[in-house]
Structure 1
Amino acid sequence: MNYDRFYTCDLVNGEGIRVTLFVTGCLHACEGCYNRSTWDRKAGTPFTADVRERILDACATHDGLSLSGGDPLHPHNRGEILALCRAFKQRYPDKDIWLWTGYRFEDVAELDILGLVDVVIDGKYEQDKPSSEPWRGSANQRLIRLPRA
C-alpha cells in the first residue's frame, strides 16, 4: 500500500482532534474529486512499519484515527488497513476509527476491517448533490456509526 500524506493534528476529518491518513488507490474516479492525485495506487510513498508506528504514536494524545484517500478499501489497501486498524485498537481500545470509502456500506460490510471501524462515511462523491452535512462531500453519502459489542 502507498499513502499520499498524513496529518498528525486534524480537526476536519471526524470528531475531535485526529490523526488522518490519506492512502492512494481509488477505483471510483468520482467526477469533481478533490483528491484526484490519490487515485493511482502506485502514486505516493510506500506505507512502511515505521510510518505505521509514527501514526500510532501520534494518536496517543488525540481522539482517534481517520482513514481517507484515495480509498482505504481499495482491494490493494485492505491488508495494510486491516493491520493498522488492529494495531490501533490494540493500543487504543477506547479511541475511534473513522473511514471514508466510495463503496456502499452494504457492499463491503463483511470485510474484517469494518469490525474495527467505528464510523463509516460511504458512497461515491457526486458533485451534483452537494451536502451541508458534516464530514460528507455529497448528499448521497451516509455517516454510519457502527455498533460495538
Structure 2
Amino acid sequence: MKIRVLDIIEQTMADGPGFRTAIYCAGCKHACKGCHNPQSWDFNAGRWMSTDDLLEIVKADDLSDVTFTGGDPFYQVEAFTELARRIKEETTKTIWCWTGFTLEEIQASARLSQLLPYLDVLVDGPFILEQRDTDLLFRGSPNQRIIYLHGEPPSDDIPGTVALEPLR
C-alpha cells in the first residue's frame, strides 16, 4: 500500500513525548482556521511512499517512537492501518496520531475505526483558533483531547489527557 507523504521528520521532540519519527501525510478537509500546516491540506502534495519503505524508516531508528500527523491520517486510513499494524507486529514502538475528527466520529465509522486498535494515543478534534492556548502540550486548543486508547496514561501524565478502558 502507499501513503501520500508530505514530510518525515526523524527524532523530533515536538510531535509527542520523547524522540519520535513523525510522518506528515498529505490531505485534510477539516481546513481549520489558523492551522499551523495548511500546505498539508492538498491531497496531491508531497510524494507517494510505500508502507514497506515507511516501515523501514521507522524501524531504522531504535530511539524514536512514531507519530502520524499531517494533513489528517484518517483520510488515508486503510494505508495507515496497514502501516500501524506492521509497526505493532514488528516493533515495540508507541504510535501517537493527530486528527481533526473526534474519537466519537471515528468510532461511528467502521472504515475510520479500523486504525484505532493500533494507536496508543489519539489527539482528536479540530483546532479552534478562537480557543487557541499556547500553554497546552501537544494540542492547540482545549477542545482537542489527548486520549490514551488502551487505559491509563503513564505516570509522567500530560495535563489534559483522557484515559479510556482498553479498546476491544
Higher relative contact order (CA 8 A, sep 6+): 1
Q: What does residue 97 of structure 2 align with? A: 99
Match of 2:50 in 1: 48
Counterparts of 1:4 and 1:121, CA distance in 2: 19
How far 1:95 moved relative to its partner? Answer: 2.2
**Which residue in 2 is equivalent to 1:32?**
34
Alignment partner for residue 144 of structure 1, among 133, 140, 147? Answer: 147
Q: What is the aligned-residue identity percentage?
A: 31
- Which stretches in structure 1 are left out of the alignment for 5+ residues? none
Aligned counterpart, 2:5: 3
Supply the AA of the counterpart residue of 2:105. Answer: D
Q: Could you tell me which amino acid in structure 1 is paired with residue 25 of structure 2?
A: V
| 5+ residue gaps, structure 2 | 151-165
The two structures, once aligned, show a CA RMSD in angstroms of: 1.5
How far residue 143 of structure 1 moved from its aligned partner, in angstroms, is 0.6
Aligned equivalents of 1:122, 1:49: Cα separation in 2: 23
Q: 2:74 matched to 1:70? A: no
Query: C-alpha distance in 2, partners of 1:117/1:17?
Result: 17
- How many correspondences in the alignment? 145
Where 2:73 maps in the other structure, the secondary structure is coil
Distance 1:67 1:59 in 2: 16
TM-score normalised according to structure 2 size: 0.80
SS of the residue corresponding to residue 61 of structure 1 reads coil
> Quick one: distance in 1 between partners of 2:122 and 2:66?
12
Aligned to 2:163: none
**For residues 128 and 105 of structure 1, do their structure 2 counterparts lie closer, same or farther at Cα, with a shift above 3 Å needed?**
same
Output the TM-score relative to the length of structure 1: 0.90
Instruction: Give the structure 2 partner of residue 82 of structure 1.
Output: 81
